[in-house]
Amino acid sequence: MAKNHLRSIAAGALVACALALSPAQRAAAQSAASPAQGAPDTPMQISWEVRNRFRLFREERDFQLHVESARDRSVLASEQALELQSDGRGWARNMVNRLCIDLSGRVSEPCTRDNVKESYLTPVDHAITVRLAGTVPVGATCAWSFDDGDGPQQSTFDCAEPVNLRARYGRQTVASVEVSSGPEAPQHLSTEIMVRDIFIAGLGDSIASGEGNPDRAIALSDEGFCFRYYLGTAASQYYRPSRAGYKGGRACEAPDTLPVWQRQSALWFNSPCHRSLYSYQTRTALALAVRYPHIAVTYLPLACTGATIPDGLFGYQRARECPPTKSGNNCSGTVNAQLDELRAAVGAAKKRQPDRKLDLILLSIGANDINFSGLVADVIVDTPTERVLFKRTGVMGSVEDSRTALARDLPQSFGKLREALKPLVGDMSHVVYVSYANPTLADGGAPCPGGRAGFDIHPSFNAEPQRLAHVSSYVDREFLPQLKALALCQSGVLCRDPAADRMTFVDAHQTAFGDHGFCARAPTDPVFDRECFSPKGESFDPDIVTAASQPMVCGRSASEYRAYLPRARWIRDANDSYFAAMTYPQGLPSSNQPADIHDATWGILSAVYGGAVHPSAEGHAAMADAALPAVASALQLDAVVPEVVQEPETPAVTTPAAR
């Protein structure tokens, strides 16, 4: 093995557990481990990195945005920096149209990445950049040679120029260089280049998919839009901000124009499942690619909002929404089982590339299996009429019913899931189960006090304090501990072979969320939030005459709301859900479908089905920070210190692919 590669391994002692260090500590460790190019008295060495190594991105500029933002930062700090950089509009709003998976969830085969057609699931090679680092004599000439076993490819350049080439998948390339400078004898260096392409799948429910964080948030109008109460009288109406661009009738008496309304929807990476690039699963996979320059990451997102283990992972489920497209509505109304989709993808990859394997699964599941959304409805729906109707239709649940499902149904389903995942991933430690955070905590872990603040988007909402405290205690003391026991085969959970059946479990983010629940507020919150979302729950004008033209009491335009600005709360409240996504869900039984877009049911559903009581982009970033060390450990990525290499300022010279 080449000496400089051995040096990289030896330097690993300097940055052990690097992902657990603070950004400043990590930067210092990386500086000690990797000599900077041109630093005095540092030996020359060959340095290389994979370009655009998060393979979901078609264009390297999108990957480089995250590389630059992540420099010496955690995922959370990077997300916050990008939020400010985008003025709260979000970094994903344009990237979502530049991916190797289309908006219906289909993998592009081939996918044109940086003007080169590649197989997404089974790449045959990877674009890399090679350069000479360390103290390089000015004006030195480098005679490069790259050999992957099919004969060397040779070229000579000024040593200041990086070299671009494509390294074969699954094959070692020996890179060597002869450095000539003046009358001195040439120096010879060599190293081995081997790109590790890591295949990661994301499975689970709304927390896994990124619910609450549309890639392009809804655009809101200054004007109001009328909803009815369930009682249906003329006096039982209220106005909330309308969708920008909507040209239909806004009064409650206006005819139904749902197709026109839907054309102004928020945009998701995948609308039927509300998959988002902001999800912790995407951010974890992306962070791996950013931090480890010698790997590539092939990421397959399959998580779907509303999923349970039986209906979602093993069986099909209803789509969350099916927005119309230019070619018509191409959504069937249902979503295929995630395990079926994953088996098909892994099978197709192995057929084309027999040594291709699934390296890791990111997983969050179980909340819908115990009807957590029903518990949320029980907490926030406060008026008697709505409570009776929601109980009758099964939308509202109880802690007692949830507890029964937690003790009886979830362990059986989880055991079945474990057995289904084994053949796909082999080593169960490569299933990284990322637990939920309690969304109801603030001020160091105290339950939120309740009230209408953050929930006055609908007149019937009120986070009733006693019900809220009851659910919060149940989540902390029963639900979250049981999930940990299921993943780790603990506390009486039956596993065939506990030592071999344990998943990798992540819950390090839960403590941080103790200060950032849905009720958290800070003087640094966005100005719109502080001025327009009333702490008393009096954000909207109750007068239907004046509210028709200006529904906000603060007098500001609803379009000033920014879904992607740093906030004290990492959990979306109902106001956030409406202002960010305003979802009119189609994945509901016919008995729950509204009669028209002014219907009382739409008023409630549009306020919660876009992500109420789900993590914000900051919350997902914090979850990714917790997951990242566990994923790196499972994949053994810290055995060799990753070189942190700057992109070249001078244009790279391209040499033919090594063959």
Dihedral, CA of residue 294, residue 16, residue 199 and residue 306, to nearest 10: -140
The whole-number pLDDT of residue 638 equals 86
Confidence of residue 534 (pLDDT cuts 50, 70, 90): very high
Alpha carbons 100 and 110: distance in angstroms, whole number: 9
Residue 576, pLDDT above cutoff 50: yes
The whole-number pLDDT of residue 518 equals 97
Burial-class residue 356 by CB neighbours within 10 Å (0-12, 13-18, 19+): buried
Alpha carbons 11 and 18: distance in angstroms, whole number: 12
Do strands 360-364 and 196-204 pair parallel, antiparallel, or not at all (unpaired)? parallel
The whole-number pLDDT of residue 231 equals 63
Residue 373, pLDDT above cutoff 60: yes
Residue 175: strand, helix, or coil: strand
In whole angstroms, how far apart are CA 630 and each of 431, 484, 506, 573, 623?
10, 15, 7, 30, 11
Residues 485-501: pLDDT tens digits?
999 999 888 898 999 99
285 vs 387: which has the higher pLDDT: 285
Alpha carbons 604 and 586: distance in angstroms, whole number: 14
Q: Which residues in 545-564 are b (16+ Cβ under 10 Å) and which e? A: eebbebbbebeebbebbbbb
Answer whether CATH 2.60.40.1180 is correct for domain 199-635: no
Residue 563, pLDDT above cutoff 90: yes
The whole-number pLDDT of residue 640 equals 52
Q: Which CATH class is domain 45-52+100-194?
A: mainly beta
Say how many residues make up the chain.
Answer: 659
Residue 238, pLDDT above cutoff 70: yes
The whole-number pLDDT of residue 32 equals 35
Alpha carbons 293 and 65: distance in angstroms, whole number: 15
Least confident among 74-83, 87-96, 320-329: 320-329
The whole-number pLDDT of residue 11 equals 31
Residue 167, pLDDT above cutoff 60: yes
The domain limits of the chain are 45-52+100-194, 199-635
487 vs 392: which has the higher pLDDT: 487
The whole-number pLDDT of residue 261 equals 79
Residues 442-492: pLDDT tens digits?
999 999 999 999 999 999 999 999 999 999 999 999 999 999 999 999 988
The whole-number pLDDT of residue 14 equals 26
8 A C-beta contact, residue 195 and residue 128? yes
Residues 191-217: pLDDT tens digits?
999 999 999 999 999 999 999 999 999
Residue 193's identity, in one-letter code, is I
Evaluate the omega torsion of the peptide bond into residue 110 and state whether it is cis, within 30 degrees of 0.
yes
Q: Which residues in 607-616 are b (16+ Cβ under 10 Å) and which e? A: bbbbbbbbbb
Rg of the Cα trace of the chain?
27
Residue 541, pLDDT above cutoff 80: yes
Q: What is the DSSP letter of 168?
A: E
The whole-number pLDDT of residue 35 equals 39
The pLDDT of 385-404, averaged and rounded, is: 88
Residues 247-262: pLDDT tens digits?
888 999 887 777 777 7
Topology match between the domains 45-52+100-194 and 199-635: no
Residue 264, pLDDT above cutoff 80: yes
The pLDDT of 368-388, averaged and rounded, is: 91
- Cα(first)–Cα(last) distance of the chain, in Å? 21
How crowded is residue 42: how many other Cβ atoms within 10 Å of its Cβ?
15
Burial-class residue 408 by CB neighbours within 10 Å (0-12, 13-18, 19+): exposed
8 A C-beta contact, residue 410 and residue 369? yes
